Amino acid sequence: MSEAQGQAPSRFADRLQRAWYSDSLLAQVLRPLAALYGGLLRLRSGLYRYGLVRSGQLRVPVLVVGNWIVGGAGKTPTTLALLAHFKARGVPVGVVSRGYGRSGDGICLITAEHRAAQVGDEPLLIHLRSGAPVAVGSDRVAAAQALLAANPQLRLLISDDGLQHLRLPRALSVLLFDERGLGNGRLLPAGPLRQPPALALQPHELVLYNAPAPSTPLPGFLAHRSLAGAISLQAWWQGQAADLTTLQSLQGRKVLAAAGMAQPQRFFTMLKAQGLDIEPLPLADHFDFQELPWPADTPDVLLTEKDAVKLHPQRCPSTRIWVVTLDFRPELAFWQALETQLQTLKLLPAGLPQDTNNG
């Protein structure tokens, strides 16, 4: 598979990301640009801190799920886990997102009829998987207001990303880290950080490590991730659940595994751990699938849900497409800390059960 066919990141982008985690000469050369970026961030933060610019106002609290570094650290699975948790407690929750990769930046309330190109792959996946109302827009405050107007029953909003979107008010933030931690600890473009790292958490912040162990000095909780199973693309679009038996039935033959995500190797490693013989095909993050990146006669292809949401079965008549789903479980202590925070901030609706489970 050629690099052009897979739309893999450019060689410079690969080199830059390696520099972020090794603090090589390239990272050193870019330090002046990082200093300029940091100055702009401090200026913007100061405008909000001194009231020269104000955050928007919403009638319900907002829980922001975000990360300090560039690239996926598990925001979508964390958002889905939070939605399932609140649904089990009878709390109506909606989601707002920028809708990265979509055509246009206006406000859109997502329905099952939308396509990923219209609303973004991750917001569409969140809506399809959870059934929660989701709104996208570059102005997250306006998107939230539109979502609340259309769904007056909502008691809480989750912002999928938006940690650096200071105009969006937030009552609580869940900060995500994976094995990469803080990289070399530098701001973009000399490092992977989107904002300066803090030495301590704010009272309204919780850290969740999407990793086997903490990867920064910040105290936090662990999330366990494993593969839940596989299901045919046709059945996935019909809302059926994946199972491990289907995934294990693919053992013993070579299968192509494609992943359009920031850390595709993580997906490939998990597949190999299940005993699968895969041919890995890393794709650019948010790969659009306007053209199929594999030959038409490929017998079997494994995809993530993030990729499946951009691909309909009729486009692959001669290839068996299998959607591999993720089982993402924050530890019990995370849910207990979350509800303690919500109680402290008086965000729990009256009568909400005080016991908790694993989401």
Q: Check whether residue 248 and residue 190 sit in a common domain.
A: no
The residue range of the domain holding 82 is 62-223+329-344
Coil, helix or strand for 135?
A: strand
- The tokens for 331 are 């530890």
Helix (H, G, I), strand (E, B) or coil at 78: helix
The answer as to whether 28 is a domain residue is no
11-33 average pLDDT score: 87
pLDDT in tens, 29-41: 999 999 999 999 9
- DSSP 8-class letter at 314: G
The verdict on 124 and 238 lying in the same domain is: no
CA distances from 108 to 122, 139, 165, 192, 350 (A): 14, 11, 18, 30, 31
Average pLDDT over residues 286-315: 94
173, 195, 175: which is closest to 186 by C-alpha?
195
CA distances from 112 to 124, 287, 309, 318 (A): 8, 20, 11, 26
pLDDT above 70 covers a percentage of the chain that reads: 94
pLDDT at 309: 96
pLDDT mean over 15-27: 87
In a domain, 47, yes or no: no
Same domain, 202 and 263: no
The one-letter amino acid at 310: K
Of 11-15, 69-73, 336-340, the range with the highest mean pLDDT is 336-340
The total of structural domains in the chain comes to: 2
76 and 129 belong to one structural domain: yes
In angstroms, the CA 149 to CA 163 distance is: 23
Instruction: Return d(Cα 69, Cα 63) in angstroms, integer.
Output: 19
Q: Both 119 and 87 in a single domain?
A: yes
* 207/128 same-domain check: yes
Q: Rounded to whole angstroms, how far apart are CA atoms 183 and 66?
A: 16
Tell me whether residue 313 is in a domain.
yes
The per-residue pLDDT for 9 is 46
Q: What is the CATH number of the domain that holds 170?
A: 3.40.50
For the segment 113-136, what is each residue's pLDDT rounded down to a tens digit? 999 999 999 999 999 999 999 999
Residue 21 has pLDDT above 90, yes or no: no
Average pLDDT over residues 323-345: 93
**What is the percent of the chain with per-residue pLDDT over 90, rounded to a whole number?**
82
Q: What's the chain's average pLDDT?
A: 91
- pTM of structure: 0.91
- Calpha distance 78→66 (Å, rounded): 10
Same domain, 194 and 314: no
- On whether both 208 and 132 belong to a single domain, the answer is yes
Task: Identify the band that residue 199 occupies on the pLDDT scale cut at 50, 70 and 90.
Answer: confident
